[in-house]
Amino acid sequence: MITAFRTELKKLLTVRSTYYLLGFVFLLISFLSFYISGWHLHRVDLLSPTALSGDITIAISGVSIFVALIAVLQMTHEYRYNTIIYSLTLSNNRNKVMLAKILVITGLSIIFTLFFATYSPLIAALGIHIHHLHLVPQTIHYWSLLWRCLFFGWGYAMAGLVIAALIRNQVGAIITLFIVPTVVEGILQQLLNNNVVYLPFSALHQVIGSGRDFNSRLSAIHAVMVFMGYLIVAWIVAWALFLRRDAE
């Protein structure tokens, strides 16, 4: 198991797309937090005691998409370049290969969620300070915000990984990752109205209170349960297919 984990970690750290995506999201969050949420912050928002908390959730919403994209590439690169054959033959159990991928992506999502959840409000506060603006005293519920951001980051990464495991085609998995949360669930909102919160990505966004506005909102715990139901079912199917399908 340790060998499989090290192999997956090496794959993640030796692929240039990982660094390109993380570099891009770092620059993006730096600009948005410093300029939009800091320097260019509207005067009315300076009176909000939750301005920095909101900046954290917005940043994590953006970062999680890129971590999920890395998860998709981590899985689909194997099929695109046919290295999955070597991954499976080097291990005496396919379960270890899949579990190693999950552990590596889980570690990546936790590390970068924690980093950007800390970095984003700090750089926003720096922008506010440099522009000689002054926020009212901020109220940040650290532990509540922490677990919700960590779950959101991890959940999005796992969703990306399971989509890639089910589809295996890189382009198809990437399109699905971007289309389902926005277009598909957006269209279904017209049919389901407030019940759209029970769709997977809509429920996930309810965990941190982001995404589309709904008249009916789920509590964070309820949203976690809804999303986990979808995720568990998807992983059962993906895992069964991974164990049974040929690697070509």
> Is the residue at 209 inside a domain?
no
Nearest to 166 by CA among 155, 177, 152, 154: 177
Please give the chain's pLDDT, 248 residues, in tens: 777 788 888 888 888 889 999 999 999 999 999 988 888 888 787 888 888 888 899 999 999 999 999 999 999 988 887 777 777 777 777 888 889 999 999 999 999 999 999 999 999 999 998 988 888 888 888 898 999 999 999 999 999 999 999 998 899 999 999 999 988 888 888 888 778 889 999 999 999 886 555 555 778 899 999 999 999 999 999 999 888 875 44
When divided into structural domains, the chain yields a total of 1
How far is Cα 220 from Cα 153, in angstroms, rounded to an integer?
14
How far is Cα 6 from Cα 38, in angstroms, rounded to an integer?
40
* Per-residue tokens: 99: 């579990």
Is this prediction's pTM over 0.75? yes
> Is the residue at 94 inside a domain?
yes
> Is the residue at 202 inside a domain?
no
> Is the residue at 203 inside a domain?
no
> Is the residue at 225 inside a domain?
no
Q: Which residue range is the domain that position 25 belongs to?
A: 2-177
> Is the residue at 87 inside a domain?
yes
Instruction: Report in angstroms the alpha-carbon separations of 126 from 120, 195, 207.
Output: 10, 40, 28
> Is the residue at 72 inside a domain?
yes
> Is the residue at 121 inside a domain?
yes
Q: Residues 103, 5: contact at Cβ < 8 Å?
A: yes
